[in-house]
Amino acid sequence: MKEILAFTGIWVVLTVAMLVHELGHALVAGALGEKVEEISLGLPRLFTFKLFGIPVRVGLLPLIGGTKLDSLLKMRWLKKAVIALSGPVFNFAFALCCYYAVGGFDQIASLAEDQFLVIPTVKSFFGNESLPTPGLTALFASMTPKNVIFAIGDINLLLAILNMLPIPVLDGGRILFAFLEGVFGKVVNNIQAILIPISFILLILWQVLIK
């Protein structure tokens, strides 16, 4: 039963973090006059609901998400950069709200000694350190409200940090290419279209090889 609760908790946390991230992109895009077609959270699809008038498709495995915009390629470079930045900004702001909710900023340092997973997770991404044990699974096995809220904050902060890396498939890469487009023009879009799937494959291979 604890394992089921742990899996459910992890699924909820990852899905919420992805929703916050993609909602950041979608709401800012809408505020800038762009049409948002849908938000996707994981695969395969389980169910769909509407949030702020936007269809949100929720999947079984919340490992990849996206916001589908009607006219992404036609946007000016600055608008692309702002929309790309909005996802990590929403995650960061939501993480701060979660940390404050578990006892205020003055208690974050003491809580972090046992539960803060962001720094070792980022190090693990680059192959410098293994993830701590017991990690999120054990964190959710106890399933206290404080654990859940803190973990949601952790994952949101982690998404904000990792998505700002200058890799084409991530928001940091999209921001970089948006500024390059501002300098060199639309020809940069063709290069970006080639590099996004390549970087996605290399990112997966990198994580496999460093384990």
Query: What pLDDT does residue 209 have?
Result: 61
3-state secondary structure of 50: strand
CB 50 within 8 A of CB 56: yes
- The reported pLDDT for the residue numbered 143 is 62
Give pLDDT, residue 101: 87
* 210, part of any domain: no
- Classify residue 195: in a domain, yes or no: no
The count of structural domains within the chain is: 1
Asked, for residue 75, whether it belongs to a domain, the answer is yes
* Within a domain: 173: no
DSSP state of 143: -
The answer to whether 119 touches 188, Cβ cutoff 8 Å, is no
Q: Which amino acid is at 208?
A: V
Q: Which domain holds residue 125?
A: 2-165
Query: Which portions of the chain are predicted below pLDDT 50?
Result: 114, 119, 122, 125, 133
Is 211 a domain residue? Answer: no
Q: Read off the pLDDT of residues 79-89 as tens digits, 9 standing for 90 and up.
A: 999 999 999 99
What is residue 4's DSSP assignment? H
* Residue 52, token pair as written in the block: 């702020």
* pLDDT of 195: 84
Whole-structure pTM value: 0.82
Note whether residue 203 is domain-resident: no
Summarize pLDDT for 126-158 with one digit per residue, the tens: 555 555 545 556 656 666 777 778 778 888 988
Identify whether 122 is part of a domain.
Answer: yes
CA–CA separation, 152 vs 158, rounded Å? 10
DSSP state of 106: G
How many CB atoms are located within 10 Å of the residue 72 CB?
15
Residue 19, C-beta contacts closer than 8 angstroms, at least 6 positions apart? 39, 41, 51, 56
**176 within domain boundaries:** no
